[in-house]
Structure 1
Amino acid sequence: MKRSVMDRIIDTIEAIAAVFVGLVAADIFISVMLRRFFSAQIPDSYDFGRMLLGILIFWGIAATSYRGTHITVDLVWAQANPRWKRIIDVFATLVLLFVVTVQTYTLFDKVHATYVDHVLTFDLRLPTWPFFAVAWIGDVSAVVLIAIRTFQLVFHPEDIHDTRSAVE
Structure 2
Amino acid sequence: MKRAWMDRFIDAIEWIAAGFVGIVALDIFLSVLLRNTLNYAIPDSFDIGRMLLGILIFWGIAATSYRGTHITVDLIWANSSPRYQRWIDVFATLVLLFVVTVQTWTLFDKVRGTYNDNVQTFDMHMPTWPFFAIAWIGDVSAVLLIAIRTYRLIFHPEEMHDPKLKATE
Give yes or no for TM over 0.5: yes
Corresponding position of 2:39:
39
TM-aligned CA deviation for residue 163 of structure 1: 2.1
Corresponding position of 1:114:
114
Unaligned runs of 5+ in 2: 165-169
Identity of matched residues, %: 74
Corresponding position of 1:100:
100
- Structure 2-normalised TM-score? 0.93
Q: Which amino acid aligns with 1:133?
A: A
Distance between the aligned counterparts of 2:44 and 2:135, measured in 1? 18
Corresponding position of 2:167:
none
- SS of the residue corresponding to residue 127 of structure 2 reads coil
Corresponding position of 1:161:
161
Corresponding position of 2:140:
140
Corresponding position of 2:4:
4
Which whole-Å deviations, capped at 9, do the CAs of 1:64-122 have from their partners, x for residues lacking one? 11121222112211111011101110111011101100100000000000000000011
TM-aligned CA deviation for residue 38 of structure 1: 1.1
Distance between the aligned counterparts of 1:74 and 1:102, measured in 2? 24
Distance between the aligned counterparts of 1:103 and 1:124, measured in 2? 30
Distance between the aligned counterparts of 1:83 and 1:10, measured in 2? 26
Q: Which amino acid aligns with 1:96?
A: L
Deviates more, 1:53-62 or 1:105-114: 53-62
Distance between the aligned counterparts of 1:105 and 1:26, measured in 2? 30
Corresponding position of 1:21:
21
Distance between the aligned counterparts of 2:7 and 2:69, measured in 1? 14
- Structure 1-normalised TM-score? 0.94
- SS of the residue corresponding to residue 30 of structure 1 reads helix
Distance between the aligned counterparts of 1:66 and 1:78, measured in 2? 20
Q: Which amino acid aligns with 1:22?
A: G
Instruction: Map 1:66-77 to 2 at 5 A.
Output: 66-77=66-77
Q: Which amino acid aligns with 1:3?
A: R
TM-aligned CA deviation for residue 7 of structure 1: 1.7
TM-aligned CA deviation for residue 145 of structure 1: 1.2
Q: Which amino acid aligns with 1:24?
A: V
Distance between the aligned counterparts of 1:97 and 1:33, measured in 2? 41
Question: When the two structures are aligned, how many residues end up with a matched partner?
Answer: 165
Corresponding position of 1:52:
52
Unaligned runs of 5+ in 1: none
Deviates more, 1:130-139 or 1:55-64: 55-64
